Every structure is written in C-alpha cells, then in structure tokens.
C-alpha cells in the first residue's frame, strides 16, 4: 500500500525578517498570526561584511561573496515556503560602507523587495522593541551589541527615553584594540563618556541583547553551574556580574576555549565585549543584568503585527496559541482558573497571571505515556520558547504542571531547578498542581462539567460540593485528591458534599 505523503508546514501569512548585519546574515520566518514570535525557520551565516571597514571604508570582499551565497539561499527558501512578507534590514556595515548602496541594489534585485538601511536611531529603537516584545514594561536601559555598533536605549516602564548608537561592535573593538586591552579600554571610555544619561538606570535593569553578549551569559551559567540553559530573562545581580566579567577579562584564550557552551568564533572578542559591559555597569549602576533572547528582528516582527495582537500579554498569548495547536480542550484552562480561584483569595496581579498560564498549559502532555507525563511536561515547560516570564516563573510553571500529573514527583530533585524557587513558591506550585489534578479527575476536560461543582476554602477547611446527581463525579480518586489538595494548601480538613460518595 502506498504510504501517505508527509505534511508540509504551511507558512502562508508568515513574516520573514532578514537581518544583514556587520558580522552575520540571518533570516528568521515567524508565524504572522501570533503575538509571540515563534520562529518557523531560523538560519544564520557568519559573513563578516564589516570586517576591515574602519580601515578601508568598504565592505569586506570575502564577506560580500559569502553574503551573496547566503542571501541567494534565503531568497529561494522564502519563496519555496510561501511567506507572505519579507522585511530586509541592513545595519551598521551597509550604512557606513562606500559600496553599501551598490550591495543594497544587488539584494533588492534578488528579492524584488526594498532593503531598509537602518539609521543608528532606527537600529537602537528596533533593539528596544525586541526587548519589549518579551518584557512590555521593561524599565532601565537596553544595550544591543552587534558586529559594527552598539545601541543603547533608555526605557521608562516600556516608554522610550534617550538612545544612541556607538561604534562599539565586536568587530570594531578588535580592530581598534589591536590586541591591547588598555587601548581598548580607552577607546570604549571615549565613546561611553558621551552618554551622560546612563546614570538614570541606577537601581533598575540593564537589558542585554546581541549574540556576543549572550556568549557572556553562557560563561556565567557554566561557571555558576546554573540549572537552566534558557538565556531569555536570565538575571544576574550587578555585583555578581562584575566579578564574573572580571574573570572573563583576565582569562586566557585557552581558558575561555575550555568552556563548552561558548562558540570558538566568539573567543577572540569575549574579553573586549566584557570590558564594554563592565564599564556600562560601572556607570549606570543597575540593580540587575537581564539577558534577552530577543533582538531587533523580534522588534521588527512586533511592529509589523496588527495593533490588537501587539498589545496582548506575551506569556498568555503563547500559552493560548500552544493550546490551539496541540491541546485537547481549548477553553478548559479558563474554566479551571475560575473554578479554583476561591483557593487563592489573596493574589498579586503577577500571581494571577502565572496561575492562568499554568491552567492553560495543564494538559500539555495528554498525548504522552502516563508513566512519563510528569517528567516530560516538566522539561517542556522549562524550555518552551515563551516570552514574558522570569526563570523563577518558568520553574514555578514546570513544578505546578509536574505536580498536576504526579502528586509527588521525585525526578526533579537532582536537577537543581528547585534552587530557582523559594519555599513559598514551591508550596504554591504544589497547591496549583493538586488543584489541577482534582479538576481533571472531576471533569476529564469535558467543557462545562467542572462548573457543576463548587469549592470553598475557609479557616483551613476545604469543601467540595457536588450536584445532587453527583454519581458522575463520585469516586475514590476524587476523595484522595481532595485530601491531597488540603495537604498542599496546609489545610486541616477536606470534605466532599453531595453525590453518592
């Protein structure tokens, strides 16, 4: 019998953003109908267009040859996949090179689409939009270090303040330093002293963007034996960051090459980009460094969305999207959220938001073998490509879903993930998981069935009330899970009323 043909991913409506940078050329294709930028295709070529630009005033000939090959591939791929829109963005090297306009025309002929050569201001604002894509209320400064330039932007709870573009990209730094760290420090200082407004970020956040700086995050994680590999929203206190940066700046190339999480091509520039980061911290004195997994490409994606999508909560939008694509019961998460609300009468806005996200994701491993649901769900939630949540949030979500599938999971005890959550956070995750476990036992995802029951929690006593014809709900597992929920809430008594238990 003839086998079935594999299904081809449909990208109609997808948005392709092609970033023609000083160091690399990258194309990312995003799902154009979602608030969160899910990359459906993501590929990069390190071309080095801006290598030698400061001396010659022109693009690197070798870099242009490599870029033409990469761009030809990207153009064919975008057409083959049928994307609805392609945005071509060129940054510092194309902006400054004498032959940049000629190369832009070549690209436009290839794609039959205009190349937008970003000004320094445009590039800075797009980088900040990338951070806002994941953290809509970001407060502090954004720094985006690329190959040819570094963009710095002040943000006031999501609103733009001062911004500047400086020639401090890692290719520029290597050429300016010429192997001399003192010369590099003087070059960096000469440019950063212009940013008198950096001190306005004192005791706020420094949001860090760019591949070279993400390599610093990987060094930090490796040396701290950090239990999670997700870089987005990885947060480090200022003083700890200074100590770690000092270690990178003083390290030999051999010492840095021994770190398995850092690409070898990043090693030559790592001490230099660490020097820039350290000096910004010394001037701005932020409370924390927050590494972003997003960039100007996601900023362009966010700007291209319809306004009704642009202002959605990124975490909740991503959870809802995942349920639409892979869930069994699309609306059941909201039902469970309302049903269990009496258990959590005092909540902050952030706690309610995270509880709703947990309810939406509660059925994420329905298709797994029962013996592995908890462990697989735990790992999936930890590493989902979601924005708008801290690493503590990720751990809280993962623990709650693990408890939902297994009342007392043991597999995470050796992972170190529990270090990301305090005792109160773990207690709350356990209670959420127990409530979801009970909800699933009562309804098994059947729409509106859960609403036939009610639950109260007062003075440490939990009461679950079933309808008079509650034989549909009555079972030993319901009784057991009511008692498990009481224990998770640190309550004293659990009672099931009604039905025929």
Query: What number of other Cβ atoms are within 10 A of residue 162's Cβ?
Result: 15
Nearest of 101, 96, 105 to residue 167 by alpha carbon: 96
The rounded distance, in Å, linking the Cα atoms of 147 and 202 is 27
The rounded distance, in Å, linking the Cα atoms of 134 and 41 is 19
Classify residue 33 by burial, with Cβ atoms within 10 Å: 0-12, 13-18, 19+.
Answer: middle
236-242: long-range contacts, CB 8 A cutoff, minimum separation 24: 236/288, 236/289, 236/291, 237/287, 237/288, 237/289, 238/281, 238/285, 238/286, 238/287, 238/288, 238/289, 241/277, 241/281, 241/289, 242/278, 242/281, 242/282
Please, where are the H alpha helices in 178-294? 181-192, 211-224, 238-250, 253-257, 270-284
C-beta of residue 104 within 8 angstroms of C-beta of residue 93: no
The string of DSSP codes covering 279-348 is: HHHHHH--SEEEE-S--HHHHHHHHHS-HHHHTS-HHHHHHHHHHHHH-S-TTHHHHHHHHHGGG--S--
The rounded distance, in Å, linking the Cα atoms of 413 and 410 is 6
What is the block-wise mean pLDDT of the chain (501 residues), using blocks of 10 residues?
40 80 93 75 93 93 96 93 91 94 97 94 91 92 94 95 94 92 95 93 95 95 93 96 96 93 92 97 97 91 81 88 72 88 94 95 86 90 88 95 86 81 93 94 79 90 82 78 94 81 44
Query: What number of other Cβ atoms are within 10 A of residue 381's Cβ?
Result: 23
Q: What is the pLDDT of residue 280?
A: 97
C-beta of residue 318 within 8 angstroms of C-beta of residue 30: no
Query: What number of other Cβ atoms are within 10 A of residue 458's Cβ?
Result: 10
The rounded distance, in Å, linking the Cα atoms of 414 and 405 is 19
Query: What number of other Cβ atoms are within 10 A of residue 37's Cβ?
Result: 27
**Residue carrying the six token digits 């930090």:** 220
Greatest Cα pair distance in the chain: 86
As a CATH number, domain 313-448 is 1.10.3210.10
Q: What is the pLDDT of residue 452?
A: 86
Query: Vertex 239, ends 150 and 423: CA angle to 5°?
Result: 115
The partner residues of 141 in beta bridges, in order of sequence, read 154, 206
For the record, the structure tokens of 471 come out as 């034989």
Nearest of 49, 144, 62 to residue 97 by alpha carbon: 49
Domains 15-118 and 121-297 share a fold: yes
Phi-psi region of 64 (alpha: psi -120 to 50; beta: other; left: phi over 0): alpha
C-beta of residue 51 within 8 angstroms of C-beta of residue 44: no
User: 385-421: b or e for each residue (b if 16 or more CB lie within 10 Å)?
Assistant: ebbbbbbebbbbbbbbbbbbbbbebeebeeeebbebb
CATH of 121-297, one of 3.40.50.620, 3.30.420.150, 3.40.350.10, 2.40.50.70: 3.30.420.150
Domain ranges in the chain? 15-118, 121-297, 313-448
Q: What is the pLDDT of residue 412?
A: 72
Q: Helix, strand, or coil here: 3? A: coil
Query: What number of other Cβ atoms are within 10 A of residue 226's Cβ?
Result: 18
As a CATH number, domain 15-118 is 3.30.420.40
Q: What is the pLDDT of residue 91?
A: 93
Q: What is the pLDDT of residue 244?
A: 96
Q: Helix, strand, or coil here: 159? A: strand
Distances (CA, A) of 371 to 195, 328, 381, 410, 417: 57, 19, 17, 13, 21
């Amino acid at each position: 019998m003839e086998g079935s043909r594999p299904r081809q991913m449909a990208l109609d409506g997808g948005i392709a953003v092609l970033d023609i940078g000083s160091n690399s050329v990258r194309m990312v294709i995003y799902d154009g109908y979602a608030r969160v930028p899910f990359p459906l295709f993501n590929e990069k070529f390190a071309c080095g267009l801006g290598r030698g630009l400061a001396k010659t005033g022109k693009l690197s000939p070798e870099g242009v040859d490599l870029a033409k090959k990469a761009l030809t591939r990207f153009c064919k791929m975008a057409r083959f996949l049928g994307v609805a829109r392609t945005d071509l963005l060129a940054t510092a090297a194309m902006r400054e090179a004498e032959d940049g306009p000629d190369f832009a025309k070549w690209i436009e002929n290839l794609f039959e689409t205009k190349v937008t050569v970003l000004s320094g201001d445009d590039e800075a604002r797009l980088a900040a939009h990338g951070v806002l894509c994941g953290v809509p209320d970001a407060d502090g400064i954004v720094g985006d270090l690329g190959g040819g330039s570094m963009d710095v932007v002040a943000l006031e709870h999501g609103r733009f303040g001062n911004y500047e573009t400086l020639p401090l990209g890692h290719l520029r730094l290597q050429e300016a330093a010429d192997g001399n760290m003192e010369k590099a420090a003087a070059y960096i200082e000469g440019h950063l002293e212009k940013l008198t407004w950096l001190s306005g970020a004192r005791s706020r956040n420094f949001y860090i963007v760019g591949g070279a700086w993400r390599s610093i995050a990987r060094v930090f994680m490796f040396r701290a034996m950090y239990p999670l590999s997700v870089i987005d929203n990885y947060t480090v206190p200022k003083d700890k960051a200074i100590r770690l940066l000092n270690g990178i700046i003083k390290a030999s190339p051999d010492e840095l090459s021994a770190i398995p999480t850092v690409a070898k091509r990043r090693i030559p520039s790592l001490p230099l980009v660490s020097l820039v980061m350290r000096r910004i911290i010394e001037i701005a004195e932020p409370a924390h460094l927050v590494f972003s997994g997003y960039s100007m490409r996601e900023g362009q994606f966010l700007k291209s969305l319809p306004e009704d999508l642009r202002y959605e909560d990124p975490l909740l939008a991503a959870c809802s999207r995942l349920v639409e694509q892979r869930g069994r019961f699309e609306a059941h998460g909201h039902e469970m959220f309302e049903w269990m609300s009496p258990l959590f009468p005092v909540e902050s806005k952030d706690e309610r938001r995270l509880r709703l996200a947990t309810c939406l994701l509660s059925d994420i491993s329905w298709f797994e073998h029962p013996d592995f649901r908890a462990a697989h769900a735990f790992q999936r939630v930890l590493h989902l490509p979601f924005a708008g949540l801290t690493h503590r949030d990720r751990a809280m979500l993962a623990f709650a879903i693990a408890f939902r599938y297994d009342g007392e999971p043991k597999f995470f005890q050796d992972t170190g993930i529990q270090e990301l959550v305090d005792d109160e956070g773990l207690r709350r995750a356990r209670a959420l998981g127990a409530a979801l476990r009970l909800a699933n036992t009562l309804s098994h995802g059947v729409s509106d069935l859960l609403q036939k029951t009610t639950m109260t929690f007062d003075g440490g006593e939990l009461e679950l009330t079933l309808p008079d014809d509650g034989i549909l709900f009555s079972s030993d597992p319901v009784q057991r899970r009511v008692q498990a929920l009481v224990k998770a809430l640190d309550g004293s008594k659990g009672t099931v009323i009604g039905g025929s238990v």
